[in-house]
Amino acid sequence: MYQFARFSSRNQGWENILVEQFQYPAGEGKLHFRDEHVICLSLAPRPVRMLQIQGGRSYSGLYGKGDFCIAPAEAPFFARWESEDRLLQIRIPSRFIQQVTRETLEINPDRLEVLSKFRTRDPRLEAIAMMLLTELQQDNLGSKLYIDSLANILAVHLLRQYSASQPTLSVYKGGLPHHQLMQVLDYINEHLNQDLKLTDLATLLDMSQFHFSHQFKQAIGISPYQYLLQQRVERAKQLLKQTEQSIMDIALECGFNSHSHLSKQFRQLTGVTPKAYRAN
């Protein structure tokens, strides 16, 4: 089967999730991943007539932009489409789903069963998928902390809405206690130049990544990723005013991977470019 991956996260260092944007001519194909659950979101500009067969069940009808299907791990999935198709394919390893099940939902992963789904709609799932697609198209500018957060949110949503047991998630209110919050903030400040992972921060407090993100945001009103960006830009502002370092060197020292990456985030948060800020 001919396929053209316009964008792929294979070489971007993303963990626990593989995201690829595909474009196919009319044709047919099979999916069968032993250790990965697959979500396919339609990006087709015009509805595509589709035949799908999975687990003795079949669907025949139109898929439009925003429609998605789910193929659980170890479940063969056949599809035939009558015209050019475009889709976003998200593959989530079974081991990661089991980890999230154990740490976040506190149930036995052996009881887990992700359900197959044909054409369906889910605004929350679509929103998460489109945020992943946006990062995929940013030429490897995505932060691991941000991707980790999206992967955890997606995994929990998949478990809560598309598993046989549909477990209830216990959400703790009140945010992180002051001493734990300061521990995390100090750690972030000391490692601004590193590509921090969500697990780095959650492990400090011996918490699941999902619950850590939720309580961090409750404590200070923004996500760990947003806070990290703010602090990197604040550090860049200091260096721009207090040193003669090049903007490229400042970008790297503050955890950005290029001059353009710093400039984009700096302008979004301050309204001006690093060069203009230094000149004022």
Q: Tell me the CATH number at 114.
A: 2.60.120.10
Give the E-state strand segments of 94-159 in sequence order: 117-120
Q: Report the percent of the chain where pLDDT is more than 90.
A: 73
In a domain, 168, yes or no: no
Are residues 102 and 196 located together in one domain of the fold?
no
Question: Confidence class of residue 171 from pLDDT cuts 50, 70 and 90?
Answer: low
**Cα torsion 97, 227, 146, 86: sign:** positive
Q: State how far the Cα of 131 lies from the Cα of 17, in Å rounded to an integer.
A: 13
In a domain, 129, yes or no: yes
Residue 52: its pLDDT value, please? 95
In a domain, 172, yes or no: no
The CB density around residue 129, as the number of other CB atoms within 10 Å, is 23
pLDDT at residue 112 tops 70: yes
DSSP annotation of 115 reads P
Q: State how far the Cα of 163 lies from the Cα of 115, in Å rounded to an integer.
A: 5
The token pair that represents 85 in the structure block: 């198709």
SS3 at position 73 = coil
Are residues 112 and 189 located together in one domain of the fold?
no
| Structural domain boundaries enclosing 182 | 178-225
In a domain, 167, yes or no: no
In a domain, 257, yes or no: yes
How much is the mean pLDDT over the chain? 90
pLDDT at residue 125 tops 90: yes
In a domain, 146, yes or no: yes
In a domain, 171, yes or no: no
Helices 178-190 and 224-242 meet at what angle, rounded to 10?
50
CATH number of the domain within which 210 lies: 1.10.10.60
C-alpha closest to that of 175 among 190, 185, 189, 167? 185
Are residues 15 and 68 located together in one domain of the fold?
yes
Q: State how far the Cα of 141 lies from the Cα of 240, in Å rounded to an integer.
A: 22
Are residues 154 and 214 located together in one domain of the fold?
no
pTM for this model (two decimals): 0.87
Q: State how far the Cα of 113 lies from the Cα of 73, in Å rounded to an integer.
A: 10
Q: State how far the Cα of 166 lies from the Cα of 164, in Å rounded to an integer.
A: 6
Are residues 70 and 147 located together in one domain of the fold?
yes
Are residues 198 and 94 located together in one domain of the fold?
no
In a domain, 170, yes or no: no
Q: What is the mean pLDDT of residues 217-240?
A: 95
pLDDT at residue 138 tops 90: no
Are residues 137 and 199 located together in one domain of the fold?
no
Are residues 52 and 156 located together in one domain of the fold?
yes
Question: Confidence class of residue 1 from pLDDT cuts 50, 70 and 90?
Answer: very low
Are residues 128 and 149 located together in one domain of the fold?
yes
Are residues 238 and 220 located together in one domain of the fold?
no
Q: State how far the Cα of 267 lies from the Cα of 113, in Å rounded to an integer.
A: 45
Tell me the per-residue pLDDT of 141-164, one tens digit each, with 9 for 90 and over: 558 899 999 999 999 999 989 998
Distances (CA, A) of 225 to 12, 90, 128, 174: 18, 22, 15, 20
**Cα torsion 187, 188, 194, 196: sign:** positive
Are residues 75 and 155 located together in one domain of the fold?
yes
Are residues 202 and 255 located together in one domain of the fold?
no
Domains contained in the chain, number: 3
Domain end marker among 206, 225, 244: 225
